[in-house]
Structure 1
Amino acid sequence: MSAINNQNKIILSVINATNGMLLHTFNSIPNEIISLQYDIFNNKLFVHTETNDENLTQIVEIDTNNGNFKQILGQISGAKPTDISSYCPICRKYFLVMFENDHFMYAAVNTSDGGGISWRVPLNFSPLNIRFTYKKF
């Protein structure tokens, strides 16, 4: 979970989903966190952040031992972030929706093999959310 502390700084709290126990709180997150996704199979935490640079979004792996950025997996410039995102632990991609050039854009970022943008496609509609069902896997 991300939040703003009393000093107006972004903090990241890692909470055990099975028992609700607070595991860590990190004060070292430099950018605004748009969304968080956790890979349950590989025990990795990913964040979708907006940097201080205008319209520069990053997908970053967070080191859960110290809260620092471990690896920038993908950067998208010139697009405004939305809070619509999802993660597939099977294909190991972070999916996100952004607003670019008067339309929504759907993108996938690799979280394995050094990262990188897999694809970006424009959408001709305004999405409400992303949801995956794993029944087909």
Structure 2
Amino acid sequence: MINENQVVDYVCKYLEDNNYTVDEHRNTNEKGYDIVAFNENGKKLIIEAKGGTSSKPGTNRYGKDFNQKQVKTHVSVAIYAVGKVINFDPDCEVGIALPENDEHVRAMKKIQKVIDLLAIKVYWVSSNGEVTVE
């Protein structure tokens, strides 16, 4: 189980290892895009990240997996965030970074056609930090 801050860190490392320059990355206490990066041709990529558990000690979900309803909400928020980017910056690539667990995979499969239609890259992050991209 990994939190949003870990997802952001792992995806930033993946991007840097794959010839992207990470311009901005934020943790859960900061506002703005979670990740802003540029490929070697200068094309901008904006990624909205979500975790599988709370990153904040003392919260009800700290150290516990988010439930199905929470995952659905997080995925919905991520889609909305990248939808705004597509609306205001149509030349920008967009992505969503998620923990690779059963609940997140199931939620994304239910909207796969929308993901494909909007050309949203999905960055799956395993608990050991490995990143795969769809």
TM-score (norm 1): 0.29
Which protein shows a greater Rg?
1
1 or 2, which has the higher strand percentage? 1
Higher relative contact order structure (alpha carbons within 8 Å, sequence separation ≥ 6): 2
1 or 2, which has the higher helix percentage? 2
TM-score (norm 2): 0.29
